[in-house]
Amino acid sequence: MVDPFLKKKWERVFYTFFDVNRNKVIDWNDFEMLFEKIKETRGTESHEYRIVSDAMRTVWRGLLHVCKGIDMYANVDINQQITIDEWDKMWQKFDPKHMDIWQWEYLKYMFFLIDTSGDKKIDIKEYKEVMQIYGMSPSDAEKAFEQFAKDENGKKLDSVDYGQFVRLWNEYFASKDKSKPGSYLFGTW
């Protein structure tokens, strides 16, 4: 039996960050729409757009490999779809100590996308700006940032570096504890 809170967190990521076209599955069209959003906000020549293009292709291939058993290096059928059930089953096997390459790529992509200044830290302004691309209100983004931007001792931080982001990421996808800062990485509860 899957913990209901974990399932809720996984499904938030599915519907907020992956199912861009809102058709209740992840398909290649979602990725193309995401590319367009990033292109519109950052530009075709931006560092973020290049990262998105490369990373998300790896993410798509990884998802198809894990959920459908398709070879990551085979020609990819863009008509494939990932359902919410396949998504949930995949995250049930998540091990923060042994992440698949596509999960690392997605983690890195998200960090660098949110780090709009390129200073290798995410601050509240950057977080709010990027979360708005995905439909989160500025006030909800601010509340979420205040919940997760804490050090290991619970002290409030002005920014989160990559190492802290990895810790928060692992808490988000693996922790059943709603009080963990990482549980708020992609919104409040």
Is position 129 within any domain?
yes
Amino acid (one-letter) located at 83: T
Residue type, 3: D
Mean pLDDT of the chain: 92
Q: Is residue 188 part of a domain?
A: no
Q: What does the pLDDT read at residue 53?
A: 75
Would you say residue 77 has pLDDT above 80?
no
Residue 51 pLDDT more than 80?
no
CATH assignment of the domain containing 11: 1.10.238.10
Residue 177 lies in a domain: yes
Q: Is the per-residue pLDDT at 98 higher than 90?
A: yes
pLDDT at 37 (0 to 100): 80
Q: Does residue 71 belong to any structural domain of this protein?
A: yes
Q: Is the pLDDT of residue 169 over 90?
A: yes
Measure the N-to-C terminal CA separation of the chain; round to a whole number of Å: 21
Q: Which two tokens stand for residue 75?
A: 């020609």
Assess if residue 47 is contained within a domain. Answer: yes
Is 189 among the domain residues?
Answer: no
Residue with tokens 């992509």: 109
Q: Is the pLDDT reported for residue 38 higher than 80?
A: no
Q: What does the pLDDT look like over 61-73, one tens digit per residue?
A: 999 999 999 988 8
The domain of 60 spans 4-183
Calculate what percentage of the chain has a pLDDT beyond 70. Answer: 99
**pLDDT digits 0-9 by tens, 3-26:** 999 999 999 999 999 999 999 999
**Is-contact 182 171, C-beta < 8 A?**
yes
Element (H, E) at 66: helix 47-68
Q: What is the pTM of this model?
A: 0.91
- What's the mean pLDDT in 148-167? 96
Place of tokens 């089953």: 89
- Integer CA distances (angstroms), 80 to 25, 53, 68, 92, 103, in order: 10, 19, 9, 21, 19
Domain count of the chain? 1
User: Contact at 8 Å (CB) between 66 and 90?
Assistant: yes
Q: Is residue 168 part of a domain?
A: yes
